[in-house]
Structure 1
Amino acid sequence: MAAMSVGQMVELFVEPGAPIYVKAFDGSTYGSEDAPVTLVIRNSRAIYYLVNAPGELGLARAYLQGDIDSPQLDPGDPYALFGKLVDVKPYLRTPNPAQLAKALASVASHGIRRPEPPAIEGPGRMRRMSEGLLPHTRKGDAATVSYHYDQSNDFYALFLGPSMTYTCAVFDSPDTSLEAAQKAKLDLVLDKLALKPGDRLLDIGCGWGSMAIEAAKRGIHTLGVTLSEEQVEWAQRWIRQEGLEDLAEVRLMDYRDVPEGDFDGICSLGMMEHVGYKHYPAYFQEIYNKLKPGAMLLNHQITRCNSHQGKKAGEFIDRYIFPDGELSSPAEIEMTIQDTGFEVINQENLRQHYALTLHRWNENLSAHWNQATAMVGEPKARLWGLYMAGCAYNFEHNNIQIHQFLCVKPDRTGTDVYPLRPWWPRH
């Protein structure tokens, strides 16, 4: 029995007429050269990646290594290619067992191989647990946060821009600049919290310190905490440069270990994704205990669209982006918040704003592509381009959302401590 070519293998999984052209290293092809998308399979390692890890993980490994590529691809901003690849989805099919066995036998005839994953791939869930990094424990959280954020401050600055704000911005229009939109987001959070000069704010998961800086400029005493050493170093230097040491402080600290209490406000922007669904009650109780009666929480996090979707991230996100990351629906989050004792004053979905934010980050990465690859290597630069473009696509198509919850802790007389109508200006 003759071994199958790569083009013949592709045809097992993709029906004729699909809007894609595939060129393979063995000289075989699939489809028409005038198709809107061309994929190039550069070597046999791509095939072995897909055999060993069918689906998104195998595809990601091959793409990050450059084993699968496209002449239409901008690796810093691959969003444009996504829509064209989605058009191929209706043409996908599942081979029958005999066809699949023949394809696997063709691969095996060249030798059974298990290529090493890209060097930037993190360990899977089982290996992390075997090393004592249990999900959402202090040790596990410290390791997973460090994995994502302790990369290179200068690399993040290439696409985040001067604000160094790694959360959803708020846009007045699609033409609003990233910096203006990030400033509007920080202002929106502080305005919703109704903080005034002299008040005390705790910023949980403070990132590189943009909220601490903005709040301090308003005269608000701000403590930011993060588990990333690189972020602490950047934030502390930024605070010194602004001359705000008397108002802003950033610590390398788990939020559960903050000894202070009686804060006038607490914000948590893009941190809940790391907490874990089962730990939501303890998380909100910790925040509740650290707030003064009558004080407010602004919780800002990525969410699922409904409670039927699974909580855990897929293998690609878990190994490359957010180990142990979990998402849940806004209804589940709000239920936990109210069960803790808070009153939810306002809930806002910023899904469209996050898509715009991610497009800006991708544009920045593409514009600084040579610097990015020089700093972190092409596989890691490709990873962030792929991740951000994929997130933009999913936000645009309502596969994921992002919500802000504004909550008040009751005082002895209840929660009749805020104005009758929203008091924050539109940003």
Structure 2
Amino acid sequence: MTSIDLGRTLDRRFQQYFSGRAGTPFSVRHGAVAHTVGTGDPAFTIAVTDPRGAKALAGLDQFQIGVAYLRGWLDFEGDLMAALKIRGMFHDRHPIAWVARFAPALRFGGAEHDRRAISAHYDEESEFFLTFMDSRHRCYTQGVFERDDEPLEDAMTRKMQLALEALKVSPGDHILEVGGGWGAFSEYAARQGVHVTTLTLAEESERYLSDLFAREQLPARVVRQHLLRYEAPRRYDAIVNMGVTEHLPDYRASLRKYAELVRPGGHVYLDALAMRAKHRVSTFMSRYIYPGKSSPLVLHSYLRQVARSPFELVSVDDDRHNYHLTCAEWARRLDAARDEVVRRWGDPLYRRFRLFLWGSAASFDTGLVQAYRWVLRMP
């Protein structure tokens, strides 16, 4: 495909997509030729480095464009978040991929499928995630910001304290944490005298947490077990779930399990990213970021199940802007660590998470994706 043909294809699609409204201009550089799509100074440049990249662009398929970027056939120069904000200009129609996303759950069963899917994302080396997460808590969910330019570390400390206060626990109480990650909440709570049992499905997370709890002599332990299969020796004083509801799309089953595990009068703190329709995730996200049947929270569906459960809804807070700020800062830190990441883990992993983090920041900023934190109480 010639540069002229590619430019014309993109021009036509740009005019269709932005019909009657101002569009974000961008440039496409194919060989020695640069072509500006739209009017004005380009916000970013797509550099075609391989004929297969030009073919992906001409196909107007956002999944194929993402794959071309992963493989180095395309590069993005300039404002990547601006580029990802207009990815709706490219179609994402892949019905076979949608069916394939759910087929393994039927083959392996729900819990085993969840374990495989979680491991696909979280079993990269912990040191990789630590290149971009906050350095104080290592928290892999949104912070709570007092102002847009506040340091990420302070936003994460505020989030830990808000969650602990919402659970209304005291030193000596026992909390069950669903999804241990890298020990952000469990370490914070344990240092205040609260006992924590944290569940994880990822082997790397289990290794990291076991070492952390032993090294720091914290009143915490890690269990590698799916929530829905977990049998506790006693009821807990509270439960915390930061960012794992997306991996528990059966709301009725998870609420039933919480009711089984928390004592009367106990609180459950949760937060999650959300969308208005279940399973409406991009093909790229379901193939390369979170494979399997994980899906964003659908708040209105979740609250219907809360109404049918024994729980009282204590509060709901909108965290969309907080999650935008968090993902944008993670993306900046990943970009700043590019040389180290590429040297230690390879260029494809850097590119995959770069698309994921900047794409998430763009989605929260435009409202394509929402985020909430909420608290339940067992009467």
CA distance in 2 between partners of 1:285 and 1:133 (Å): 22
Given the two structures, how large is their TM-score scaled by the length of structure 1?
A: 0.78
Partner residue, 2:36: 31
Q: Is the 8 A contact 1:303 1:329 kept in 2?
A: yes
Q: Is the 8 A contact 1:297 1:407 kept in 2?
A: yes
Cα offsets for 1:309-330 (capped at 9, x unmatched): 3433120100011112212432
Given the two structures, how large is their TM-score scaled by the length of structure 2?
A: 0.87
Query: CA RMSD of the aligned region, Å?
Result: 2.7
CA distance in 2 between partners of 1:301 and 1:71 (Å): 31
Structure 2 residue 283 is matched with structure 1 residue 283: no
Partner residue, 1:240: 214
Structure 2 residue 220 is matched with structure 1 residue 257: no
Structure 2 residue 374 is matched with structure 1 residue 372: no
CA distance in 1 between partners of 2:210 and 2:374 (Å): 28
Q: How far off its partner does 1:139 sit?
A: 1.1
CA distance in 2 between partners of 1:154 and 1:224 (Å): 20
Q: How far off its partner does 1:193 sit?
A: 0.6
Which residue, 102, 110, 132 being the options, matches 1:137? 110
Partner residue, 2:70: 64
CA distance in 1 between partners of 2:327 and 2:63 (Å): 22
How many positions carry a matched residue from both structures? 361
Q: Is the 8 A contact 1:8 1:30 kept in 2?
A: no
CA distance in 1 between partners of 2:177 and 2:363 (Å): 28
Give the residue type in structure 2 aligned to 1:359: A
Comparing both structures, which one devotes a greater share of its residues to helix? 2
CA distance in 1 between partners of 2:139 and 2:378 (Å): 27
Q: How far off its partner does 1:232 sit?
A: 1.0
Partner residue, 1:153: 126
Q: Secondary structure at the match of 1:22?
A: strand
CA distance in 1 between partners of 2:28 and 2:279 (Å): 35
Q: Secondary structure at the match of 1:187?
A: helix
CA distance in 1 between partners of 2:351 and 2:314 (Å): 41
CA distance in 1 between partners of 2:90 and 2:239 (Å): 50
Cα offsets for 1:21-73 (capped at 9, x unmatched): 32224x5553389842332212112244457x752210101111221124436
Cα offsets for 1:146-204 (capped at 9, x unmatched): 00100111100000132221001111112221111111111111100101011110000
Q: How far off its partner does 1:302 sit?
A: 0.9
Structure 2 residue 4 is matched with structure 1 residue 7: yes
Cα offsets for 1:377-401 (capped at 9, x unmatched): 1121011111111111111222211
Which residue, 345, 348, 353 being the options, matches 1:384? 353
- Aligned pairs (5 A) from 1:12-161: 12-15=9-12, 19-25=25-31, 29-31=34-36, 35-36=41-42, 37-49=44-56, 54-72=60-78, 78-79=80-81, 81-82=83-84, 86=86, 124=97, 126-127=99-100, 134=107, 137-161=110-134
Give the residue type in structure 2 aligned to 1:20: F
Q: Is the 8 A contact 1:136 1:275 kept in 2?
A: no
Partner residue, 1:297: 268
Give the residue type in structure 2 aligned to 1:64: L
Q: Secondary structure at the match of 2:212?
A: helix
CA distance in 1 between partners of 2:108 and 2:375 (Å): 27
* Residue ranges of structure 2 left out of the alignment (5+ in a row): 16-22
Residues 181, 264 of structure 1: CA spacing in aligned structure 2 closer, same or farther, 3 A cutoff?
Answer: same
CA distance in 2 between partners of 1:63 and 1:5 (Å): 19
- Aligned pairs (5 A) from 1:333-344: 333-344=302-313
Partner residue, 1:219: 193
CA distance in 2 between partners of 1:239 and 1:390 (Å): 34
Q: Structure 1 segments of 4 or more deviating over 4 A?
A: 32-35, 48-51, 80-83, 123-136
Q: Is the 8 A contact 2:269 2:374 kept in 1?
A: yes
CA distance in 2 between partners of 1:223 and 1:342 (Å): 22
- Aligned pairs (5 A) from 1:265-414: 265-276=238-249, 279-304=250-275, 306=276, 309-323=277-291, 324-410=293-379
CA distance in 1 between partners of 2:220 and 2:90 (Å): 57
Give the residue type in structure 1 aligned to 2:127: D
Give the residue type in structure 1 aligned to 2:346: G
Partner residue, 2:20: none
* Residue ranges of structure 1 left out of the alignment (5+ in a row): 95-122, 411-427
CA distance in 1 between partners of 2:143 and 2:105 (Å): 36
Q: Is the 8 A contact 2:245 2:297 kept in 1?
A: no
Q: Is the 8 A contact 1:7 1:29 kept in 2?
A: no
